[in-house]
A and B are shown apart, each in its own frame.
Chain A
Amino acid sequence: MDIPYTVEIRRDTGLTNGKIGIWLFLASEVMLFGALFASYIVIRTGAPTWPRGDTMLNVPLATVNTIVLISSSVTMVMAWASLMRGRFETFRIYMGLTILCGLAFLVIKYFEYSAHFHEGALPSTNNFLAIYFTLTGLHGIHVFGGMAVNAYFWGPGAKLWKENPTWFTNRVEHAGLFWHFVDLVWIFLFPTLYLL
C-alpha cells in the first residue's frame, strides 16, 4: 500500500509529505538550539566575568570552518539543482564535494578540540568552555548526521534516481534543507562563541 503525496504534490496544500515533515523537524531543532542559546544568555549575564571568545578559542581556524561550511551549502544547492536539470553525474560530484566539506569541517573541529584538551581547557574548566563544548559538540553531531544522510544519497540511496527521479530529487532537497539549517546554526555559533 502506498502513502499518497510522497512524490506528487497535494493540490490544496501545495506540498509533499516530506516537505512538511522536514520543516516541522527544523522547527523543533530551532527550539533545541534556541533553548541552548537562551541558556548561554542566562549564564553569561549571570556571570561576574566572562572571557572574550578570541582569548580562549582559535578564531582563524573557525573562520576557515565558516568558509568551508558556507561552501558546502553552495555545493549542496548545486547538487540539488543538477538533479532538477536531470544531470545525475554532476549531482554525484557536487554531493561528493558537500560531504568532503562536512568532513573537512569535522577534521578542523577535531584539531581545535584536541588543542583545547591538550591545554587542559575542558568543559569542566569554566562555564564559557562548558557552553562552548556543549553547543559545538551538539552542532558537530548534527554535521555528522547530515553527512551520513548525504552519503546515503550519494551512495546506496542513489538507486532511487533510476526508479523515481522526482522522489529522489525531493529527498535530496529535504536533506539540503537540513544541511542549510546546520550551516545556519554555525553562522550563529561562530560570532556568539568566538567573537563576542
Chain B
Amino acid sequence: MSDPGAVAAHPSHAPHVAHHEELGFWRKYVFSTDHKVIGIQYAVTGLLFLLFGFSLMMLMRWNLAYPGAAIPWLGAILGPSRMPGGTMLPEFYNELGAMHGTIMVFLGVVPLAVGGFGNFVLPLQIGAPDMAFPKINMLSYWCLFLGGITMLASFVIPAGGAAQSGWTSYTPLADIAGSGQTWWLVGMIFLITSSLLGALNFITTTIQLRAKGLTFMRFPFFVWAQFVTAFLLLLAFPPLEAAGVMQLMDRVAGTSFFLPSGLVVSGQALTNAGGGNPLLWQHLFWFLAHPEVYVLILPGMGIVAEIIANNTRKPLWGYRSMVYSLVFLGFMSFIVWAHHMFMTGMGTTMAAFFQTTTMIISIPSVVILTALIMSLWGGSIRFNTPMLFALAFLPMFGIGGLTGLPLGLNITDIPLHDTYYVIAHFHYVVAPGTIFALMAGIYYWYPKATGRRMNETLGKIHFLGSLICMNVVFMPMFIVGLAGVSRRLADGGASYDFAQPVLHWNVWSSWGAWTLGLFQLPFIFNFFWSIWKGEKVGDNPWEATTIEWSAPSPPPHGNFLGAPEAYRGPYEYSVPGAPKDFWPQYEV
C-alpha cells in the first residue's frame, strides 16, 4: 500500500522527536499517563467485560430455552447456591440478568466507546500531544478498574451473591435486597467517578488542545460525537451518584428515602421510618440513564461516520446538519427521561410532555442516520471489514430506532412495557447497532495502534456470522414481546398459558446467542494474531484525510513528529482537480 500521507507527516528537515526519559515497565504499560496506553487499557477492559457480560447472557439463554433442564457439570462448577444439580435457581437467574445489564452498559460499551476510542482516537484526531490532564486520565481508568473488580467480587461474596434487582435497581426492591446490592452501589460510585473524570478531560482536551487551524466546524464527526457525549456524562451522571448515595444510606444507615410508609415485605411490616418516595429513584435513575442511551450510541455514530466517509471516498452528506442535530440531540436527551416511566401513574399531562419531547428527539437521530445513508449515494464504496460493520450499523440501528417509536408513545407503551419487545428494541440499538460500530472502529483504527492490519478474511467471517446471528437472537424477541411475554421471567414465559405459542422462539434466540458466541472466536484470534502476524501497513493505510493518520503507526509518546496543523475540513475526498482522491486535513 502506497503511503502518501506519510510525506507530510515526516518532514525531511530535522525530524523533531519528542525526547522523554525511558519509563519502566509499570509506568509505561500499567500506570501509564499516555492517552494511547490508557485508551488501549480501556478498550481491552471493555472487550473483556463485553465477553463476560455476554457469557452471563449465554448462561441465561439456557434456562430461557430449556427451563429447568439441568447441566450437571455447570452445577458442579457454580455450586448448589446457584445451580443445584445443574438446574438454575431463579435467584441466580436474577443475578445474571442484573449483572448482564450493568456490565454491558457501564463496564463494556461505555469503557470501549468512550474510554477506549475516545482516549485513543480523539487526541490524535485533533492533533493533540496527549489529553489535557494525563494524570486524571490515569486515575479515571483505575477508578473504572476498581469499579469492575467490585462488581466481579460481588458474585463470589459469601452471603447473597451479586445484585438481583436489575440494572435499573428499582426501589423499594433494591433497598431490601441482599448484600450484593450494596456492592453494586459501591461499584457504581467508582464507575461514575471514572466517567466524570474522563468527561471533563475530554471536553477540556477538545476545546484547548486542538491543532492550529482546527476550528470546531473542521472537527471530524467522531470528535463532535465524543464532545457531546462527554457533556452528557458530565451532567447526567451526578444525579445518579446522588441517588446511589441515598440508596446506600437506605441500605446502610437505615434511612427511608425510597421506602414508603407501611411497606410490607413477605408478610412482615418494615420497621423503618417510612415517608420515602420509591419513584424518586426512578426519576433520578432515568435522568442519568436516558442520556446514557445516547452515551452508548453517539460514539458509535461518530465511528460509523468516519468509516463511511473514508470508504465511500466522498465527504459526509450534510456534515453541518449532522453536527447541529448532534448538539440538539444532546440537549434534548435531558428532558425525555420519564418516557421510561409511563407505567408509574404519572398523569396524562406529564406523559404528554414526555412523549412529545421523545418524538422531537427522534428527529435529530433520523437526520443523522439519513445523512449517513445519503452519504453512500454515488460513492465508489470499498467493502472492507470496517465498512461492512459500518454499513450493517445503518439498518440495524434503523430497526432499533423505529421500533422505539411505539415505546415512546404513552398509549402504545402500556401494552409493550416490560415485555421482550423492549429488549429487542434496545438491543437492536446497542448490540447490532453500537457494538457493530465499535467492531468497525476496532478494525479501522487497529493499524494506527499496532502498525498492522487485521486479517480481512477472518474479519469478514466475523462480520457475516455476527450479522446473521444478531438477527436470529433479537428478531424473535419482537414476536415474543408482542405476544405479551414479560422480560423478567426466569423460565422465559413457560409457566404462562398465553406464552405457549411463542415459546419455541426462545429456542431460536438461544441458539442464535450461542452461535454468535462461536462467531466471536475468529475476532478474538484475529485480534491477537494480527499484533504479531498482521499485514504491515504504513501510517495511512485507508488513505484517510483526518489528522490521526499523519502520526506514525503506532504513534510515539507525544504522538506527532511535528506540530500538526489543519488546513481544511475533515472529509475532502474526491476533490475535483486534486491529484489524488483524498486531500488530507493536515497537508498544506
Contacts and interface: CB of A to CB of B under 8 A. Distances in A.
Interface of A: 1-5, 10, 13, 15-17, 20-21, 24-25, 27-29, 31-36, 39, 42-43, 46-48, 122-127, 130-131, 133-134, 138
Contact of A43 (B241, B243, B257): B257
A47 B284 CA distance: 19
A46 B275 CA distance: 8
Interface string B372-412: 00000000000000000000000000000000000000000
Nearest to A125: B273
Contacts of A130: 249, 253, 255-257, 273
A118 B255 CA distance: 18
B272 interface: yes
Interface stretch (B144-152, B204-212, B534-542): B204-212
A125 B253 CA distance: 10
Nearest to B271: A124
Given A16-B208, A43-B277, A130-B249, 19 more contacts: A1-B18, A1-B558, A3-B209, A13-B207, A17-B209, A20-B203, A27-B234, A28-B235, A29-B238, A33-B242, A35-B239, A35-B287, A39-B257, A48-B275, A124-B272, A124-B273, A125-B273, A126-B275, A134-B257
A3 B135 CA distance: 12
B284 A21 contact: no
B287 A17 contact: no
Chain B: interface residue count, which band? 35 or more
Interface in B277-297: 277, 280, 283-284, 287
B83 interface: no
B343 interface: no
A127 B256 contact: yes
A17 B208 contact: yes
A144 B233 CA distance: 25
Contacts of A36: 242, 245-246
A1 B280 contact: no
Given A123-B249, A126-B273, A134 B255 contact: yes
A127 B225 CA distance: 41
B254 A15 contact: no
Interface stretch (B106-114, B125-133, B325-333, B485-493): B125-133
A124 B254 contact: yes
Contacts of B558: 1
16 contacts: A3-B209, A16-B208, A21-B136, A24-B234, A32-B239, A35-B242, A35-B243, A35-B284, A36-B245, A43-B257, A43-B280, A127-B275, A130-B249, A130-B253, A130-B257, A134-B246
A43 B275 contact: yes
A31 B238 contact: yes
Nearest to A126: B273
Contacts of B256: 124, 127, 130
Contacts, number: 136
Given A4-B209, A15-B208, A42 B242 contact: no
B235 A31 contact: yes
A38 B235 CA distance: 15
Contacts of B284: 35, 39
Contacts of B199: 24, 28
A64 B118 CA distance: 47
Interface of B: 18, 20, 129-134, 136, 196, 199-201, 203-204, 207-209, 234-239, 241-243, 245-246, 249, 253-257, 272-273, 275-277, 280, 283-284, 287, 557-558
A51 to B, nearest CB: 12
Contacts of B253: 122-124, 130, 133
Contact of A28 (B201, B209, B234, B283): B234
A43 B212 CA distance: 51
A44 B407 CA distance: 32
Interface of A is mostly: helix
B276 A21 contact: no
A122 B283 CA distance: 26
Contacts of A13: 207-208
B277 A46 contact: yes
Contacts of B255: 123-124, 127, 130, 133-134
Most buried by B among A29, A125, A134: A134
Nearest to A50: B275
Nearest to B129: A1
Contact of A127 (B235, B237, B276, B283): B276
A32 B238 contact: yes
Nearest to B556: A1
Given A39-B242, A46-B277, A3 B204 contact: no
Contacts of B276: 43, 127
A130 to B, nearest CB: 4
Contacts of A31: 235-239
A134 B558 CA distance: 44
A13 B201 CA distance: 16
B559 to A, nearest CB: 9
B257 A3 contact: no
A39 B208 contact: no
Given A5-B208, A126-B273, A28 B200 contact: yes
A33 B239 CA distance: 8
A102 to B, nearest CB: 22
Contact of B129 (A3, A10, A43, A133): A3
A5 B277 CA distance: 47
A3 B275 contact: no
A10 B254 CA distance: 50
Nearest to A138: B245
A32 B284 CA distance: 11
A127 B203 CA distance: 38
Contacts of A46: 275, 277
Contacts of A15: 207-208
Contact of B130 (A1, A20, A28, A125): A1
Contacts of B249: 123, 130, 133-134
The 9 closest A-B pairs by CB, nearest first: A124-B254, A35-B239, A130-B255, A32-B238, A35-B242, A31-B238, A1-B558, A24-B200, A17-B132
A3 B287 CA distance: 35
A190 to B, nearest CB: 19
A20 B209 CA distance: 12
A29 B235 CA distance: 9
Nearest to B559: A1
